[in-house]
A and B are shown apart, each in its own frame.
Chain A
Amino acid sequence: MRFLPHTDTDRNAMLESMGMNTMSDLFADIPKEFHLEQDSLHLPDALSEAAIVRKFTQASEQNRHAGNTRCFLGGGTYHHFVPAVVDYVISRGEFLTAYTPYQPEIAQGTLQTLFEFQTMVARLTGMDVSNASMYEAATATAEAALMARRVTRKSRIVMAGSVNPRYRSVTQNYLSRLEGEYVEVAMDGEGFGTDINNIIAAIDEKTACVIVQYPDFYGSVYDLAPLRAACDAAKCLMVVAFSDATAFALIESPGDMGADIAVGSGQSLGIPMGFGGPHLGLFTCKQKYVRQMPGRVCGMTFDADGKRGFVLTLSTREQHIRREKATSNICSNQGLMCTAAATYMTLMGDEGLKAVAQRSAAALHKLISSLPASVSAAQGAHFHETVLSFSSQAIRDLFLQEARKRDIFAGIPLEQLDDAVEHKHLLVTTTEMIEAADIQDYIAALEVAV
């Protein structure tokens, strides 16, 4: 077997040195009744490397993908450009096949990269500090709610209904086995935006935090200043979730808006969509709350010779030290995805990140400006996604078919993610991967359908 270095001669020599005769002697401590007969597992026999490549290639070719279609899908996962250098760096065995940097002297590569990652994420989100990643945005949102409970020693969580339904359901599920109230604030009508006044009205003195998404699930961008004031008055935290971190190179960041905790997805920072993962959960907060943060965090220090170096720190928050009193149970995180994001942001810089966001937003503006009269887009400021509303489900679905004929995934039927809405809306998203010609084809399909 090609991944196993031993020859039978090696195996026999090793067994003999221990006074054993057969491999089964090594398993004498497992009760006989549990020993499997050789070859008794119902699995296919081994495939050669070439056969594995063939099998995966065939499976891959059965899928449609962003390489052979035009992808107007978003809702938390985005098709942004990933430079070749990003994949090269994370393919380096020294990054790819290293463990968690528990022995810092021989993990400075991972650690310095994490420190750079944390710094860039903090700067992009406008927050004081970042941890070294969560799994993805939905669990990061749940962890933010848990952290707000620890910080405030209150247990009521207020969640805006305009937060991504997946972030909401995971957060609700995480909280459901703990004491305390979870309140979702329904958004008025089908305006597809965030009604700040409704949210403010739901805050009371027992509230630990309010969770909003900015830009919200429908792509809407709005002012958080009134909410900040209301949170101060009620002594609760303002948690801002986000789904595409590139937005903050263009628009005001969660930190600018006064967030206490900002969490979301870093998938847009150099990570392919990958049918849902692995993505990257970002977790940032104000400096004063850092000791209540979940997850690993990397800090600067010095070595025995006085040279600057980096270590994992504040580990007394973590499960391997604090066990059931830990701030979270997280252990494995998305380390390699941090390396991808750090590489991506280094290649982009302020200017490149802003250009990504600008082009994503410009494409949406162009699309909305070209819509036929019978299709309406949600009102107000939008970043790179919005809701298109059709006169009926039949017409919307006809459009989706027309778009498929043109190799366009035209949007996500909103009811697939949020079953409370009428079946005639489409969440549509644009990135810098959408060209002007793609928008023309999109509009052409629309004109056939409506």
Chain B
Amino acid sequence: MSVDDTLNTYSAVGGIQHEEPLLFEHAHESAEAISLPGVQGDISDELKAFARKKPANIPGLSEPETVRHFVRMSQWNHSIETGFYPLGSCTMKYNPRVNEQVVRLSGLANIHPDQPVDSVQGVLALLHELQTWLCEIAGFSDVTLQPAAGAHGELVGLMMIRSCLDARGQQHRKKVLVPDSAHGTNPASAALCGMHCVELKSGADGRIDLEELKKHLDGDVAALMMTNPNTAGAFESDIKEICQLVHDAGGLVYGDGANLNALVGVARPGDMGIDCLHINVHKTFSTPHGGGGPGAGPVVVNDTLAPYLPVPRIVKEGDDYRIETQDEQSCGTILGSIGQVGVLLRAHAYIAAFGANHLHKISQDAVLNANYVLHRLKDAYHVPFEGLCKHECLLTDEYQNKHGVKTLDIAKQLIDLGFHPMTVYFPLIVHGAMLIEPTETESKATLDSFCDAMLEIAAQCKAGDTQVLHDAPIKPIRRRLDETQAARKPVLVWSD
């Protein structure tokens, strides 16, 4: 079947797409788009001495031109609002519009962070309530909302672990164990915290191998960083024993919460022995990804690590909220503000919409959908690790390799069929990984049409009808882009 024949079946990119030049190629002088308020007086003579001599050369378009410029470009993007986005370990779920509405209320959007505390009690109350909810959902005793993203949360978690070990007089513990299936941010965060990583080789089932773990548990171990469920989509069923082993060896267990969407309302990492966990609210609690961010990575901690939380902290005293900025034991200041407040407020609204009575349905449906996709694709694609998956499932291109087709080709063909590809070539523990995370906000009809597309691609491979796969994608505004050239002679800014 050719791509054109599939147009009625799949939601492929189609219709009008406009070319749009760069802003700098719009051919007229700066237009006036803005009428500004303010004082139109003179500036001081002292300041005049520092006047910029050469203009910045930022072109400026009129308001209608600006709108069309950006709206046209927006139409070149795939997004969760336009289609299925099954990126593994990314949790691309629907982002409720009401959350966008409420965070734009002037009393939330237009507050200065250094206003007197009596003038910001409303926002502090919302943030404080979110703190208690995150602790309750994940099973921990305290939290910092401050980290700006998941990787930032990792760094902060490790800083707290460092402070805790230092307080125990164990400055020498600098070894961080990281499974080879871990996100790349884990080892990078450890390095930034002055620790070094030792990679744990995953067992044959894609999980942490207890014997391998024991081999590395010596007096130098500071922490184990683990993701559960892991990036192969498997729950680490030995979690209790793993945490016990690490604790017995004098180390602490850091939980990477990127995959928390499998556990919400179902089980709590804090109950399993993990000492701290960052929560990617832009994944689990549905704050929009925005083309790369902003996210937020609150870190929940147990009693062992609570004394070392960063400052500032939001504290409730009686009916009042205040911001605590000093604490001797704290691991320090990690951001110039109290956090990515607008992102955190969206997470608050999301949790409020589910409440105690519905939260578990998030993970139930997420796990149902991933297992359903796995079930439908397991004969056509190689499944490296048997058994249940959690909120994402892992396949490889092993069967398709025999026909000269690689994961990348499958991904690009999915684009022509109207789907965003899954996460490709991650985790690194299998060759040609395809990690599929459907999330709970997709209908059975969408899952079926995605599975049909995947099965069709597998059938094309079997039939030797593979040229179309190597040529894909042909439908978007651009075809495969030359990334090698981009890196060899980087052009990062436009020159007129």
Kindly state the separation between the CA atoms of A179 and B194 in the bound complex, as whole angstroms: 8
Instruction: Write 29 A-B pairs (CB below 8 A) sorted by A numbering.
Output: A11-B368, A29-B235, A30-B266, A47-B355, A52-B102, A68-B106, A87-B104, A92-B71, A95-B77, A115-B494, A120-B56, A128-B493, A253-B56, A276-B336, A277-B339, A278-B341, A278-B343, A323-B187, A324-B187, A326-B184, A331-B185, A332-B292, A335-B293, A335-B294, A346-B58, A349-B33, A352-B34, A434-B39, A435-B39
Instruction: Please name all residues of chain A whose beta carbon is closer than 8 Å to the beta carbon of B353 when the two chains form the complex.
Output: 1-3, 46-47, 49, 52
Asked if B383 lies at the interface with its beta carbon under 8 angstroms from chain A, I say no
Instruction: Please name all residues of chain B whose beta carbon is closer than 8 Å to the beta carbon of A393 when the two chains form the complex.
Output: none
Whether B36 pairs with A432 at a CB distance below 8 angstroms is yes
Bitwise interface map of A from 227 to 263 toward B, beta carbon under 8 Å scored 1, else 0: 0000000000000000000001111110010000000
Whether A60 pairs with B107 at a CB distance below 8 angstroms is yes
Instruction: Please name all residues of chain B whose beta carbon is closer than 8 Å to the beta carbon of A273 when the two chains form the complex.
Output: 109-113
Whether B184 pairs with A14 at a CB distance below 8 angstroms is no
CB closest residue in chain A, given B495: A119
Asked if B412 lies at the interface with its beta carbon under 8 angstroms from chain A, I say yes
Kindly state the separation between the CA atoms of A358 and B442 in the bound complex, as whole angstroms: 50
8 Å CB interface, A1-55 against B: 1-6, 10-11, 13-15, 17-18, 23, 26-31, 33-36, 38-39, 41-47, 49, 52-53, 55
Whether B355 pairs with A43 at a CB distance below 8 angstroms is yes
The winner among B36, B265, B342, B390 for most chain A CB atoms within 10 A is B36
Whether B102 pairs with A329 at a CB distance below 8 angstroms is no
Asked if A416 lies at the interface with its beta carbon under 8 angstroms from chain B, I say yes
One of B245-253, B393-401, B477-485 contacting the partner: B477-485
Contact of B267 among A30, A172, A316, A347 (CB under 8 A): A30
Kindly state the separation between the CA atoms of A31 and B268 in the bound complex, as whole angstroms: 12
**With known contacts A272-B110, A324-B187, A250–B51 Cβ distance under 8 A:** yes
Whether A331 pairs with B338 at a CB distance below 8 angstroms is no
Kindly state the separation between the CA atoms of A68 and B107 in the bound complex, as whole angstroms: 9
Instruction: Please name all residues of chain A whose beta carbon is closer than 8 Å to the beta carbon of B290 when the two chains form the complex.
Output: 90, 95-98, 334-337, 339
Asked if A355 lies at the interface with its beta carbon under 8 angstroms from chain B, I say yes
Instruction: Please name all residues of chain B whose beta carbon is closer than 8 Å to the beta carbon of A334 when the two chains form the complex.
Output: 290, 292-294
The winner among A53, A319, A336, A431 for most chain B CB atoms within 10 A is A319
**Min CB–CB distance A82 → chain B (angstroms):** 9
**With known contacts A67-B106, A324-B190, A94–B51 Cβ distance under 8 A:** no
Whether B59 pairs with A299 at a CB distance below 8 angstroms is no
Contact of A108 among B49, B77, B420 (CB under 8 A): B77
Whether A99 pairs with B87 at a CB distance below 8 angstroms is yes
One of A69-77, A151-159, A198-206 contacting the partner: A69-77
Contact of B41 among A126, A365, A380 (CB under 8 A): A365
**With known contacts A26-B388, A362-B39, A132–B112 Cβ distance under 8 A:** no
A-B pair number, CB within 8 angstroms:
712
**With known contacts A274-B341, A275-B338, A41–B136 Cβ distance under 8 A:** yes
Whether A108 pairs with B73 at a CB distance below 8 angstroms is yes
Kindly state the separation between the CA atoms of A347 and B196 in the bound complex, as whole angstroms: 47
Whether A275 pairs with B481 at a CB distance below 8 angstroms is no
One of B2-10, B116-124, B213-221 contacting the partner: B116-124
Whether B82 pairs with A94 at a CB distance below 8 angstroms is yes
Further 5 A-B residue pairs, CB within 8 A, beyond A300-B492, A348-B60, A434-B38: A36-B360, A63-B107, A93-B79, A96-B290, A336-B293
Bitwise interface map of A from 206 to 219 toward B, beta carbon under 8 Å scored 1, else 0: 00000000000000
CB closest residue in chain A, given B473: A105
**Min CB–CB distance B65 → chain A (angstroms):** 9
**Which 3 A-B pairs rank lowest in CB-CB distance, beginning with the nearest?**
A349-B60, A336-B290, A335-B292
Contact of A249 among B52, B109, B148 (CB under 8 A): B52
Contact of B58 among A275, A348, A365, A381 (CB under 8 A): A348
Whether B336 pairs with A29 at a CB distance below 8 angstroms is no
Whether A109 pairs with B73 at a CB distance below 8 angstroms is yes
Instruction: Please name all residues of chain A whose beta carbon is closer than 8 Å to the beta carbon of B297 when the two chains form the complex.
Output: 332
Asked if B37 lies at the interface with its beta carbon under 8 angstroms from chain A, I say yes
Asked if B85 lies at the interface with its beta carbon under 8 angstroms from chain A, I say yes
Kindly state the separation between the CA atoms of A68 and B133 in the bound complex, as whole angstroms: 31
Instruction: Please name all residues of chain A whose beta carbon is closer than 8 Å to the beta carbon of B87 when the two chains form the complex.
Output: 99
Instruction: Please name all residues of chain A whose beta carbon is closer than 8 Å to the beta carbon of B193 when the two chains form the complex.
Output: 177
Asked if B150 lies at the interface with its beta carbon under 8 angstroms from chain A, I say yes
Whether B487 pairs with A363 at a CB distance below 8 angstroms is no
8 Å CB interface, B45-67 against A: 46-47, 49-61, 63, 66-67
